[in-house]
Chains A and B, each alone.
Chain A
Amino acid sequence: MEISSLEESRREAIFQARVDAEEKIEPKDWMPEAYRKNLIRQISQHGHSEVVGQLPEGNWITRAPTLRRKAVLLAKVQDEAGHGLYLYSATETLGIAREELMEQLLTGKAKYASIFNYPTLSWADVGAIGWLVDGAAIVNQISLCRTSYGPYARAMVRICKEESFHMRQGYEIMTVLARGSQEQKAMAQDALNRWWWPTLMMFGPHDADSAHSGSSMKWKIKRQSNDELRQKFVDQSVAQAQHLNLKIPDEKLKWNDERGHYDFGEIDWDEFTAVLGGAGPCNHERLEARRIAHEQGDWVRDAMFAHAEKQRQRDVRKTA
């Protein structure tokens, strides 16, 4: 007992030294169990967010108003599936199987970004999601390119490279609407009104109230705090909204010379907690869609498995 716990703390010291020296932790390395669990939670949640994130925008693929927009939206939603896969792939290096990840999502044990529990009600929402939601995701993900776990960092680098077009296509949609008819302008403003606050919530609770932040920062899983990243996002968004001639729905939004940042109003944390807890407009629908896809895939996966098995046996017979 004594020896093994000594060994454990020796390993932990080596591990922490490696993290402190900005060396990456790789799959076969020894790592504290809590680090592994924390990573599985965060990376799989990130992966689930990409996969569930297909749904709100996917809702508009069949209704995209031009063929160019349809192709772009398809490519974007496809990227989200691809990014989900990169992240599942990174999670699986930590010793958890895909089936288990799926089960955690479908039973509600694993979370996904709460933003996807809001509905997409007009074409402008597709623009607003690209501009704001992907904009916020990029702020967060750029920071995560320096995360301490190698496979996660590499997935983030690839995702950031690919996602740069996501925000731009969203902003382009908003630009066209903001320059368009009165109805289109109103549509764009309405989308901004509805997506602004949920987007700010994406960065999570204030640093002081964040349950996982302490150890995540120490282990360099997270590199910047929720509040820092949120501030960065607000600062970059103000000019973008002004350029569109749209108004961010926050009366308290104001430049603070002293801080060198924008001040902004308080998030409705009750709403945050409620939507996280399942009371958002689409929580049920999003999970249900994934559950149905998964269940209706059961017989397909069974068939793949059965066919592969038959093939193997044929090969064995052939070589025998």
Chain B
Amino acid sequence: MNKHLPLWEVFLRSRRGLEHKHVGSLHAADPEQAMQYARDVYTRRMEGCSIWVVLANDIHASQEAEGEAFFDPAEDKVYRHASFYDVPDDLKL
């Protein structure tokens, strides 16, 4: 047998009010099985109250080579941050 079971990426919401966060991956044949293994492997210590499983192949990722074009142009736009502006110290804004 040399068939590869699909790889799934696992995301957990650790508690209500928080976003799902990537925690790792696993192999499973179908979404239901991936969900159960995610529960068994990644929530042994009550780490989560909600699980997402996503086929790893379905994730599109930005590439390092594109990094400069993607992310550097934001560098000089400091006016998007509140700290950029001068306001009187004694006022609450």
Do A and B come from the same complex? Answer: yes
Interface residues of A (CB under 8 A from B): 28-30, 75, 78-79, 82, 85-86, 89-90, 92, 97-99, 155, 158, 162, 298, 301-302, 304-305, 307-308, 311
* B residues 1-39 in Cβ contact with A at 8 Å: 1-5, 7, 23-27, 29-30, 33
B4 — which chain A residues lie within 8 A by C-beta?
97-99
Q: What's the Cα separation between A305 and B6 when bound, in Å?
A: 9
Q: What's the Cα separation between A85 and B25 when bound, in Å?
A: 8
Q: What's the Cα separation between A306 and B25 when bound, in Å?
A: 22
Q: What's the Cα separation between A82 and B29 when bound, in Å?
A: 18
Given A301-B1, A305-B3, residue A78 in contact with residue B44 (CB < 8 A): yes
Other A-B pairs beyond A85-B24, A92-B7, A305-B29, 6, CB < 8 Å:
A28-B64, A75-B44, A82-B44, A98-B4, A158-B23, A301-B1
Does B83 belong to the interface (CB within 8 Å)?
Answer: no
CB distance from B10 to the nearest CB of A (A): 9
Given A30-B64, A78-B44, A162-B45, residue A307 in contact with residue B29 (CB < 8 A): yes
Q: Which of B5, B23, B24, B63 contacts A304 (CB 8 A)?
A: B5
A75 — which chain B residues lie within 8 A by C-beta?
44
Q: Which of A86, A99, A301, A308 contacts B24 (CB 8 A)?
A: A86
CB distance from A203 to the nearest CB of B (A): 27
Does B41 belong to the interface (CB within 8 Å)?
Answer: yes
B45 — which chain A residues lie within 8 A by C-beta?
162
Q: What's the Cα separation between A162 and B7 when bound, in Å?
A: 24
* B residues 25-78 in Cβ contact with A at 8 Å: 25-27, 29-30, 33, 41, 44-45, 61-65
A305 — which chain B residues lie within 8 A by C-beta?
3, 5, 29
CB distance from B29 to the nearest CB of A (A): 4
CB distance from B62 to the nearest CB of A (A): 8
Q: What's the Cα separation between A97 and B5 when bound, in Å?
A: 10
By the criterion CB–CB under 8 Å, are A302 and B3 in contact?
yes
A75: nearest chain-B partner, CB-CB: B44
| Interface of A: prevailing SS | helix
B64 — which chain A residues lie within 8 A by C-beta?
28-30
Contacts A/B (CB < 8 Å), 6 sampled? A28-B62, A78-B44, A79-B44, A85-B26, A304-B5, A305-B3
Which interface residue of A78, A82, A89, A298 has the most chain B CB atoms within 10 A? A89
By the criterion CB–CB under 8 Å, are A311 and B61 in contact?
no
A311 — which chain B residues lie within 8 A by C-beta?
30
Q: What's the Cα separation between A226 and B42 when bound, in Å?
A: 31
Q: What's the Cα separation between A30 and B30 when bound, in Å?
A: 32
Q: What's the Cα separation between A248 and B25 when bound, in Å?
A: 41
Q: What's the Cα separation between A92 and B61 when bound, in Å?
A: 16
By the criterion CB–CB under 8 Å, are B26 and A89 in contact?
yes
A158 — which chain B residues lie within 8 A by C-beta?
23
By the criterion CB–CB under 8 Å, are A28 and B61 in contact?
yes
CB distance from B14 to the nearest CB of A (A): 13
Closest 10 CB pairs of A and B: A304-B29, A308-B29, A89-B25, A298-B1, A89-B24, A308-B30, A29-B64, A305-B3, A82-B41, A28-B64
A90: nearest chain-B partner, CB-CB: B24
CB distance from B42 to the nearest CB of A (A): 8
By the criterion CB–CB under 8 Å, are A92 and B41 in contact?
no
Q: What's the Cα separation between A78 and B23 when bound, in Å?
A: 18
CB distance from A154 to the nearest CB of B (A): 8
A308: nearest chain-B partner, CB-CB: B29
CB distance from A60 to the nearest CB of B (A): 21
CB distance from A121 to the nearest CB of B (A): 29
Q: What's the Cα separation between A90 and B30 when bound, in Å?
A: 21
B3 — which chain A residues lie within 8 A by C-beta?
301-302, 305
By the criterion CB–CB under 8 Å, are A85 and B29 in contact?
no
CB distance from B65 to the nearest CB of A (A): 8
